[in-house]
Amino acid sequence: MNRKLEKRLILVGAVWEIISGLITVLFYATSIKKQGLTVVPNMEAMQSIFGSMYMFAVTFGMIFIAMGLINLYLSRQMKNEQVEKKIPIWFIIVGLASYFVMDILGALMFLSAGILALAKNKSVRKSLEVAK
């Protein structure tokens, strides 16, 4: 079975994660940092809160970038005529995590790819049994 469709869905989802992470780090986090700098200098507690928000945004964006790179790697590891067991489950888990952080595009791509890969496993398994 050809796994071209799953690989394309994973590629789209991974690129989206990387772009989303870069936007979060470059634009959203820097916006938070600028807002923190405009706070009255005597309010150190507010500056500390903005600093924590900045670190959270950067960490969140870096996690998205790392997940995108991991998913790109895993999409390259999927073999066409081989039963994949762990990789489709990983994509379903990533899809559910994307859903919980309201990344609807990522959730749609990864859940679809994981479910398609699991469905194709049945046909690959049957074709391997017939070949024996």
Would you give per-residue pLDDT tens digits along the chain (132 residues)?
688 999 999 999 999 999 999 999 999 998 988 887 777 667 777 878 888 999 999 999 999 999 999 999 999 998 888 888 899 999 999 999 999 999 999 999 999 999 999 999 888 888 888 877
Q: What is the DSSP letter of 32?
A: H
Task: Using alpha carbons, select from 59, 56, 75, 57 the residue that is nearest to residue 15.
Answer: 75
Cα angle vertex 22, ends 18, 25, to 5°? 140
pLDDT for res 85: 87
pLDDT for res 113: 95
As a whole number of Å, the end-to-end CA separation of the chain is 16
pLDDT for res 25: 94
pLDDT for res 22: 96
Q: What is the pTM of this model?
A: 0.87
pLDDT for res 1: 67
Joined tokens for residue 92:
């379903």
Going from the C-alpha of 126 to that of each of 4, 31, 112, the distances in angstroms are 19, 54, 22
Domain extent at residue 11: 4-131
pLDDT for res 130: 83
**The total number of structural domains that make up the chain:** 1
pLDDT for res 80: 83
